[in-house]
Structure 1
Protein backbone atom coordinates (compact mmCIF):
# COMPACT_ATOMS: atom_id res chain seq x y z
CA UNK A 1 0.00 0.00 0.00
CA UNK A 2 1.21 3.53 -0.80
CA UNK A 3 1.21 5.78 2.24
CA UNK A 4 1.94 9.49 2.45
CA UNK A 5 4.11 10.67 5.34
CA UNK A 6 4.14 14.39 6.10
CA UNK A 7 6.63 15.08 8.92
CA UNK A 8 8.98 18.05 9.20
CA UNK A 9 11.22 16.63 11.94
CA UNK A 10 14.06 14.59 10.41
CA UNK A 11 14.37 12.10 13.27
CA UNK A 12 10.63 11.46 13.51
CA UNK A 13 10.40 11.16 9.73
CA UNK A 14 13.26 8.66 9.61
CA UNK A 15 11.78 6.49 12.37
CA UNK A 16 8.30 6.55 10.84
CA UNK A 17 9.67 5.73 7.39
CA UNK A 18 11.66 2.79 8.75
CA UNK A 19 8.68 1.36 10.63
CA UNK A 20 6.36 1.50 7.63
CA UNK A 21 8.89 0.24 5.10
CA UNK A 22 9.55 -2.70 7.40
CA UNK A 23 5.85 -3.57 6.99
CA UNK A 24 6.22 -3.57 3.22
CA UNK A 25 4.50 -0.26 2.46
CA UNK A 26 5.52 2.04 -0.39
CA UNK A 27 5.98 5.57 0.90
CA UNK A 28 5.61 9.09 -0.43
CA UNK A 29 7.57 11.27 2.00
CA UNK A 30 7.07 15.03 2.39
CA UNK A 31 8.44 17.56 4.86
CA UNK A 32 5.80 20.29 5.00
CA UNK A 33 2.11 21.03 4.59
CA UNK A 34 2.09 22.37 1.01
CA UNK A 35 4.00 19.33 -0.27
CA UNK A 36 1.58 17.02 1.53
CA UNK A 37 -1.42 18.88 0.09
CA UNK A 38 0.01 18.59 -3.43
CA UNK A 39 0.76 14.87 -3.01
CA UNK A 40 -2.80 14.17 -1.90
CA UNK A 41 -4.16 15.84 -5.04
CA UNK A 42 -1.87 14.09 -7.53
CA UNK A 43 -3.39 11.61 -10.01
CA UNK A 44 -1.46 8.76 -8.37
CA UNK A 45 -2.09 10.03 -4.85
CA UNK A 46 -1.74 7.69 -1.87
CA UNK A 47 -5.05 6.75 -0.30
CA UNK A 48 -3.70 6.71 3.25
CA UNK A 49 -1.83 9.63 4.82
CA UNK A 50 -0.08 10.19 8.13
CA UNK A 51 0.16 13.93 8.76
CA UNK A 52 2.11 15.60 11.53
CA UNK A 53 -0.03 18.20 13.26
CA UNK A 54 2.72 20.84 13.52
CA UNK A 55 4.38 21.56 10.15
CA UNK A 56 5.73 24.65 8.38
CA UNK A 57 3.38 26.85 6.33
CA UNK A 58 0.39 24.51 6.63
CA UNK A 59 -0.21 22.33 9.66
CA UNK A 60 -1.72 18.87 9.45
CA UNK A 61 -5.19 20.03 10.49
CA UNK A 62 -5.26 22.67 7.76
CA UNK A 63 -4.09 20.16 5.16
CA UNK A 64 -6.80 17.77 6.32
CA UNK A 65 -9.49 20.46 6.15
CA UNK A 66 -8.48 21.54 2.64
CA UNK A 67 -8.38 17.97 1.34
CA UNK A 68 -11.88 17.30 2.68
CA UNK A 69 -13.13 20.47 1.02
CA UNK A 70 -12.02 19.07 -2.36
CA UNK A 71 -14.37 16.08 -1.95
CA UNK A 72 -11.92 13.66 -3.59
CA UNK A 73 -13.08 10.23 -4.77
CA UNK A 74 -12.09 7.98 -3.21
CA UNK A 75 -11.44 10.06 -0.08
CA UNK A 76 -8.05 9.47 1.55
CA UNK A 77 -7.84 7.95 5.02
CA UNK A 78 -6.00 10.50 7.16
CA UNK A 79 -4.21 9.84 10.45
CA UNK A 80 -2.97 12.84 12.44
CA UNK A 81 0.32 12.44 14.28
CA UNK A 82 0.55 14.82 17.24
CA UNK A 83 1.91 15.58 20.69
CA UNK A 84 -1.46 17.14 21.51
CA UNK A 85 -3.55 14.81 23.61
CA UNK A 86 -6.08 17.17 25.19
CA UNK A 87 -9.66 16.22 24.42
CA UNK A 88 -10.31 19.57 22.73
CA UNK A 89 -7.35 19.09 20.40
CA UNK A 90 -8.47 15.59 19.47
CA UNK A 91 -11.97 16.85 18.71
CA UNK A 92 -10.54 19.69 16.60
CA UNK A 93 -8.50 17.25 14.54
CA UNK A 94 -11.43 14.92 13.95
CA UNK A 95 -13.73 17.83 13.14
CA UNK A 96 -11.23 18.93 10.50
CA UNK A 97 -11.75 15.61 8.74
CA UNK A 98 -9.12 13.31 10.21
CA UNK A 99 -10.14 9.66 10.45
CA UNK A 100 -7.80 8.80 13.31
CA UNK A 101 -4.93 10.19 15.38
CA UNK A 102 -1.80 8.92 17.08
CA UNK A 103 -0.10 10.79 19.92
CA UNK A 104 3.69 11.05 20.17
CA UNK A 105 5.60 9.15 21.35
CA UNK A 106 3.72 6.27 19.78
CA UNK A 107 4.09 2.54 20.15
CA UNK A 108 5.13 0.77 16.89
CA UNK A 109 2.44 -1.86 17.40
CA UNK A 110 -0.20 0.84 17.83
CA UNK A 111 0.99 2.48 14.61
CA UNK A 112 0.79 -0.85 12.78
CA UNK A 113 -2.71 -1.51 14.14
CA UNK A 114 -4.05 1.93 13.19
CA UNK A 115 -2.62 1.70 9.69
CA UNK A 116 -4.22 -1.76 9.38
CA UNK A 117 -7.58 -0.23 10.36
CA UNK A 118 -7.12 2.40 7.66
CA UNK A 119 -6.37 -0.25 5.05
CA UNK A 120 -9.45 -2.22 6.09
CA UNK A 121 -11.69 0.87 5.86
CA UNK A 122 -10.29 1.75 2.43
CA UNK A 123 -10.91 -1.82 1.26
CA UNK A 124 -14.51 -1.68 2.42
CA UNK A 125 -15.01 1.68 0.69
CA UNK A 126 -13.60 0.30 -2.57
CA UNK A 127 -15.84 -2.78 -2.40
CA UNK A 128 -18.89 -0.63 -1.69
CA UNK A 129 -18.07 1.71 -4.59
CA UNK A 130 -17.76 -1.28 -6.92
CA UNK A 131 -21.16 -2.61 -5.84
CA UNK A 132 -22.75 0.82 -6.28
CA UNK A 133 -21.33 1.06 -9.81
CA UNK A 134 -22.64 -2.40 -10.64
CA UNK A 135 -26.10 -1.51 -9.32
CA UNK A 136 -26.10 1.76 -11.26
CA UNK A 137 -25.17 -0.11 -14.43
CA UNK A 138 -27.99 -2.58 -13.84
CA UNK A 139 -30.42 0.26 -13.19
CA UNK A 140 -29.35 1.97 -16.41
CA UNK A 141 -30.03 -1.25 -18.29
CA UNK A 142 -33.51 -1.49 -16.79
CA UNK A 143 -34.24 2.14 -17.55
CA UNK A 144 -33.32 1.56 -21.19
CA UNK A 145 -36.46 -0.53 -21.64
CA UNK A 146 -38.67 1.54 -19.34
CA UNK A 147 -38.53 4.74 -21.39
CA UNK A 148 -40.41 5.58 -24.56
CA UNK A 149 -39.18 3.39 -27.44
CA UNK A 150 -39.95 4.84 -30.90
CA UNK A 151 -41.49 2.17 -33.15
CA UNK A 152 -42.59 2.48 -36.78
CA UNK A 153 -46.36 2.05 -37.00
CA UNK A 154 -46.01 0.27 -40.35
CA UNK A 155 -42.98 -2.03 -40.33
CA UNK A 156 -42.62 -2.17 -36.50
CA UNK A 157 -38.91 -1.35 -36.57
CA UNK A 158 -37.50 0.32 -33.46
CA UNK A 159 -35.28 3.40 -33.44
CA UNK A 160 -32.19 3.10 -31.22
CA UNK A 161 -30.32 5.84 -29.33
CA UNK A 162 -28.13 6.55 -32.38
CA UNK A 163 -31.16 7.14 -34.61
CA UNK A 164 -30.95 3.87 -36.55
CA UNK A 165 -34.05 1.77 -37.22
CA UNK A 166 -33.68 -1.90 -36.30
CA UNK A 167 -35.86 -4.96 -36.26
CA UNK A 168 -37.43 -5.50 -32.83
CA UNK A 169 -35.35 -8.62 -32.23
CA UNK A 170 -32.14 -6.71 -32.99
CA UNK A 171 -33.10 -4.00 -30.51
CA UNK A 172 -33.99 -6.52 -27.81
CA UNK A 173 -30.79 -8.48 -28.34
CA UNK A 174 -28.76 -5.29 -27.94
CA UNK A 175 -30.58 -3.91 -24.91
CA UNK A 176 -31.48 -7.05 -22.97
CA UNK A 177 -30.14 -10.51 -22.18
CA UNK A 178 -33.21 -12.16 -23.69
CA UNK A 179 -32.75 -14.97 -26.20
CA UNK A 180 -34.93 -14.55 -29.30
CA UNK A 181 -36.75 -17.64 -30.62
CA UNK A 182 -38.69 -17.21 -33.85
CA UNK A 183 -42.10 -18.72 -34.46
CA UNK A 184 -45.36 -17.93 -36.24
CA UNK A 185 -48.49 -16.82 -34.46
CA UNK A 186 -51.83 -18.39 -35.52
CA UNK A 187 -53.06 -15.21 -37.22
CA UNK A 188 -49.97 -14.95 -39.42
CA UNK A 189 -50.03 -18.69 -40.09
CA UNK A 190 -53.57 -18.44 -41.50
CA UNK A 191 -52.46 -15.60 -43.79
CA UNK A 192 -49.31 -17.38 -44.94
CA UNK A 193 -50.87 -20.82 -45.26
CA UNK A 194 -54.57 -20.33 -46.16
CA UNK A 195 -54.72 -23.82 -47.56
CA UNK A 196 -54.27 -25.24 -44.04
CA UNK A 197 -57.20 -25.45 -41.71
CA UNK A 198 -55.69 -23.85 -38.62
CA UNK A 199 -57.31 -22.60 -35.46
CA UNK A 200 -55.81 -20.58 -32.58
CA UNK A 201 -55.05 -23.71 -30.59
CA UNK A 202 -52.55 -25.01 -33.15
Structure 2
Protein backbone atom coordinates (compact mmCIF):
# COMPACT_ATOMS: atom_id res chain seq x y z
CA UNK A 1 0.00 0.00 0.00
CA UNK A 2 1.32 3.40 -0.98
CA UNK A 3 1.78 6.01 1.77
CA UNK A 4 -0.61 8.17 -0.27
CA UNK A 5 -3.36 5.60 0.38
CA UNK A 6 -3.05 6.19 4.13
CA UNK A 7 -2.73 9.98 4.05
CA UNK A 8 -5.59 12.31 4.90
CA UNK A 9 -5.41 16.07 4.43
CA UNK A 10 -6.90 17.91 7.40
CA UNK A 11 -7.59 21.61 6.79
CA UNK A 12 -8.63 23.13 10.13
CA UNK A 13 -7.71 26.48 11.67
CA UNK A 14 -8.98 25.76 15.20
CA UNK A 15 -6.15 24.28 17.28
CA UNK A 16 -8.40 22.16 19.49
CA UNK A 17 -10.32 20.61 16.60
CA UNK A 18 -7.15 20.17 14.57
CA UNK A 19 -5.35 18.36 17.40
CA UNK A 20 -8.36 16.11 18.07
CA UNK A 21 -8.57 15.14 14.41
CA UNK A 22 -4.85 14.53 14.15
CA UNK A 23 -4.67 12.27 17.21
CA UNK A 24 -7.83 10.38 16.26
CA UNK A 25 -6.66 9.66 12.71
CA UNK A 26 -3.21 8.61 13.90
CA UNK A 27 -4.79 6.18 16.36
CA UNK A 28 -6.55 4.53 13.43
CA UNK A 29 -3.29 4.15 11.50
CA UNK A 30 -3.71 7.04 9.09
CA UNK A 31 -1.17 9.74 8.30
CA UNK A 32 -2.79 13.18 8.70
CA UNK A 33 -1.26 16.09 6.79
CA UNK A 34 -2.21 19.29 8.59
CA UNK A 35 -3.07 22.63 7.02
CA UNK A 36 -4.02 25.60 9.23
CA UNK A 37 -5.83 27.49 6.46
CA UNK A 38 -7.27 26.99 3.01
CA UNK A 39 -4.28 28.32 1.10
CA UNK A 40 -1.92 25.94 2.90
CA UNK A 41 -4.24 23.05 2.02
CA UNK A 42 -4.27 24.15 -1.62
CA UNK A 43 -0.46 24.15 -1.69
CA UNK A 44 -0.37 20.59 -0.37
CA UNK A 45 -2.76 19.48 -3.11
CA UNK A 46 -0.36 20.74 -5.79
CA UNK A 47 2.14 17.99 -4.95
CA UNK A 48 2.43 14.81 -7.02
CA UNK A 49 1.61 12.59 -4.03
CA UNK A 50 -1.26 14.69 -2.69
CA UNK A 51 -3.67 12.91 -0.33
CA UNK A 52 -6.83 11.66 -2.00
CA UNK A 53 -9.08 11.95 1.05
CA UNK A 54 -9.66 15.42 2.49
CA UNK A 55 -11.35 16.70 5.64
CA UNK A 56 -12.11 20.40 5.29
CA UNK A 57 -13.41 22.97 7.75
CA UNK A 58 -15.75 25.58 6.29
CA UNK A 59 -14.57 28.80 7.93
CA UNK A 60 -10.79 29.25 7.59
CA UNK A 61 -8.36 32.15 7.10
CA UNK A 62 -7.17 33.12 3.60
CA UNK A 63 -9.41 30.63 1.81
CA UNK A 64 -12.66 29.22 3.17
CA UNK A 65 -13.22 25.49 2.94
CA UNK A 66 -16.22 25.91 0.65
CA UNK A 67 -14.14 28.03 -1.76
CA UNK A 68 -11.29 25.53 -1.59
CA UNK A 69 -13.78 22.80 -2.37
CA UNK A 70 -15.02 24.63 -5.46
CA UNK A 71 -11.44 25.27 -6.60
CA UNK A 72 -10.58 21.58 -6.25
CA UNK A 73 -13.61 20.46 -8.22
CA UNK A 74 -12.81 22.90 -11.03
CA UNK A 75 -9.24 21.66 -11.48
CA UNK A 76 -8.22 18.91 -13.90
CA UNK A 77 -6.44 16.17 -12.01
CA UNK A 78 -5.55 12.59 -12.86
CA UNK A 79 -6.56 11.25 -9.45
CA UNK A 80 -9.93 11.62 -7.77
CA UNK A 81 -10.50 13.20 -4.36
CA UNK A 82 -13.00 12.24 -1.70
CA UNK A 83 -13.89 15.32 0.33
CA UNK A 84 -15.58 15.43 3.73
CA UNK A 85 -16.77 18.79 5.05
CA UNK A 86 -16.50 18.96 8.85
CA UNK A 87 -18.00 22.16 10.24
CA UNK A 88 -20.21 23.73 12.89
CA UNK A 89 -22.55 24.94 10.16
CA UNK A 90 -25.38 22.46 10.47
CA UNK A 91 -28.41 24.07 8.85
CA UNK A 92 -30.11 22.30 5.96
CA UNK A 93 -29.13 25.17 3.66
CA UNK A 94 -25.46 24.84 4.63
CA UNK A 95 -25.48 21.08 4.03
CA UNK A 96 -27.09 21.55 0.63
CA UNK A 97 -24.58 24.26 -0.30
CA UNK A 98 -21.65 22.08 0.74
CA UNK A 99 -22.85 19.07 -1.20
CA UNK A 100 -23.71 21.19 -4.24
CA UNK A 101 -20.19 22.67 -4.15
CA UNK A 102 -18.74 19.17 -4.53
CA UNK A 103 -18.45 17.66 -1.05
CA UNK A 104 -18.83 13.87 -0.98
CA UNK A 105 -19.86 13.84 2.67
CA UNK A 106 -20.84 16.33 5.37
CA UNK A 107 -20.31 16.09 9.14
CA UNK A 108 -20.95 18.60 11.89
CA UNK A 109 -18.81 19.43 14.92
CA UNK A 110 -18.22 18.15 17.47
CA UNK A 111 -17.64 14.93 15.54
CA UNK A 112 -18.44 11.46 16.81
CA UNK A 113 -15.26 9.35 16.43
CA UNK A 114 -17.15 6.23 15.40
CA UNK A 115 -19.14 8.07 12.77
CA UNK A 116 -16.05 9.83 11.43
CA UNK A 117 -14.19 6.53 11.16
CA UNK A 118 -17.09 4.97 9.26
CA UNK A 119 -17.22 7.93 6.85
CA UNK A 120 -13.46 7.79 6.28
CA UNK A 121 -13.66 4.06 5.55
CA UNK A 122 -16.42 4.71 3.03
CA UNK A 123 -14.29 7.39 1.41
CA UNK A 124 -11.33 5.08 0.89
CA UNK A 125 -13.58 2.33 -0.49
CA UNK A 126 -15.02 4.77 -3.02
CA UNK A 127 -11.53 5.92 -4.01
CA UNK A 128 -10.37 2.32 -4.46
CA UNK A 129 -13.37 1.56 -6.67
CA UNK A 130 -12.70 4.69 -8.75
CA UNK A 131 -9.06 3.72 -9.19
CA UNK A 132 -10.04 0.20 -10.25
CA UNK A 133 -12.56 1.61 -12.73
CA UNK A 134 -9.98 4.03 -14.16
CA UNK A 135 -7.56 1.12 -14.73
CA UNK A 136 -10.25 -0.89 -16.50
CA UNK A 137 -11.12 2.07 -18.73
CA UNK A 138 -7.44 2.48 -19.63
CA UNK A 139 -7.18 -1.21 -20.49
CA UNK A 140 -10.26 -0.97 -22.70
CA UNK A 141 -8.88 2.11 -24.44
CA UNK A 142 -5.65 0.25 -25.22
CA UNK A 143 -7.62 -2.74 -26.49
CA UNK A 144 -9.68 -0.49 -28.78
CA UNK A 145 -6.48 1.13 -30.09
CA UNK A 146 -5.11 -2.32 -30.98
CA UNK A 147 -8.32 -3.23 -32.78
CA UNK A 148 -8.39 0.06 -34.68
CA UNK A 149 -4.75 -0.41 -35.67
CA UNK A 150 -5.47 -3.82 -37.15
CA UNK A 151 -8.55 -2.51 -38.95
CA UNK A 152 -6.65 0.22 -40.79
CA UNK A 153 -5.88 -0.04 -44.51
CA UNK A 154 -2.40 -1.54 -44.74
CA UNK A 155 -0.03 -0.69 -47.63
CA UNK A 156 1.29 -4.09 -48.73
CA UNK A 157 3.78 -4.91 -51.47
CA UNK A 158 2.20 -6.81 -54.37
CA UNK A 159 5.29 -8.99 -54.80
CA UNK A 160 7.02 -9.68 -51.48
CA UNK A 161 3.94 -8.97 -49.31
CA UNK A 162 5.83 -6.71 -46.89
CA UNK A 163 3.75 -4.09 -45.06
CA UNK A 164 4.73 -0.43 -44.81
CA UNK A 165 4.66 0.71 -41.18
CA UNK A 166 3.89 4.15 -39.73
CA UNK A 167 7.49 5.31 -40.11
CA UNK A 168 7.68 4.44 -43.81
CA UNK A 169 9.74 1.26 -43.46
CA UNK A 170 8.65 -2.12 -44.77
CA UNK A 171 8.12 -5.02 -42.36
CA UNK A 172 7.44 -8.68 -42.93
CA UNK A 173 3.75 -9.44 -42.42
CA UNK A 174 4.36 -11.50 -39.28
CA UNK A 175 6.68 -8.85 -37.87
CA UNK A 176 4.11 -6.11 -38.38
CA UNK A 177 1.24 -8.08 -36.86
CA UNK A 178 3.39 -9.14 -33.89
CA UNK A 179 4.17 -5.48 -33.12
CA UNK A 180 0.52 -4.42 -33.27
CA UNK A 181 -1.13 -7.34 -31.49
CA UNK A 182 -0.43 -10.21 -29.13
CA UNK A 183 -0.49 -12.76 -31.96
CA UNK A 184 2.30 -15.36 -32.00
CA UNK A 185 3.27 -17.21 -35.16
CA UNK A 186 4.00 -20.87 -35.79
CA UNK A 187 5.47 -21.46 -39.25
CA UNK A 188 4.50 -24.28 -41.56
CA UNK A 189 4.22 -25.03 -45.29
CA UNK A 190 0.92 -24.95 -47.15
CA UNK A 191 0.22 -27.65 -49.81
CA UNK A 192 0.74 -25.25 -52.74
CA UNK A 193 4.15 -24.14 -51.53
CA UNK A 194 5.13 -27.70 -50.70
CA UNK A 195 4.36 -28.75 -54.25
CA UNK A 196 6.22 -25.76 -55.70
CA UNK A 197 9.35 -25.93 -53.58
CA UNK A 198 9.52 -29.61 -52.63
CA UNK A 199 7.83 -31.52 -55.46
CA UNK A 200 9.65 -34.71 -54.52
CA UNK A 201 7.79 -34.79 -51.18
CA UNK A 202 4.49 -33.24 -52.11
CA UNK A 203 2.81 -36.30 -53.63
CA UNK A 204 3.77 -38.44 -50.67
CA UNK A 205 2.52 -35.91 -48.14
CA UNK A 206 -0.73 -35.23 -49.99
CA UNK A 207 -1.56 -38.94 -50.07
CA UNK A 208 -1.54 -39.11 -46.26
| TM-score scaled by length of structure 2 | 0.89
Equivalent-residue separation in structure 1 for 2:166 and 2:129 (angstroms): 36
Contact in 1 for aligned 2:59/2:65 (Cα 8 Å): yes
Aligned pair 1:167/2:172, yes or no? Answer: yes
Q: Which residue of 2 aligns with 1:3?
A: 8
Higher helix share: 2
Aligned pair 1:110/2:111, yes or no? Answer: no
Q: CA deviation at 1:156?
A: 0.7
Q: Which runs of 5+ in 1 are unaligned?
A: none
Deviations, residues 159-178 of structure 1 (Å, cap 9, x unaligned)? 22233211111112222222
Q: Which residue of 2 aligns with 1:86?
A: 91
Equivalent-residue separation in structure 2 for 1:3 and 1:181 (angstroms): 53
Which shows bigger deviation, 43-52 or 140-149? 140-149
Residues 132 and 123 (structure 1 numbering): CA distance in 2 closer, same or farther, change over 3 Å? same
Q: Which residue of 2 aligns with 1:45?
A: 50
Q: How many residues align?
A: 202
Q: Which residue of 2 aligns with 1:147?
A: 152
Contact in 1 for aligned 2:191/2:202 (Cα 8 Å): no
Q: Which residue of 2 aligns with 1:125?
A: 130
Which shows bigger deviation, 17-26 or 177-186? 177-186
Equivalent-residue separation in structure 2 for 1:113 and 1:193 (angstroms): 76
Q: Give the secondary structure class of the aligned counterpart of 1:28.
A: strand
Deviations, residues 106-128 of structure 1 (Å, cap 9, x unaligned)? 11111111111101100111111
Residues 83 and 168 (structure 1 numbering): CA distance in 2 closer, same or farther, change over 3 Å? same
Equivalent-residue separation in structure 2 for 1:196 and 1:49 (angstroms): 76
RMSD over aligned CA atoms reads 2.0
| TM-score scaled by length of structure 1 | 0.92
Q: Give the secondary structure class of the aligned counterpart of 2:98.
A: helix
Q: Which runs of 5+ in 2 are unaligned?
A: 1-5
Q: Which residue of 2 aligns with 1:75?
A: 80
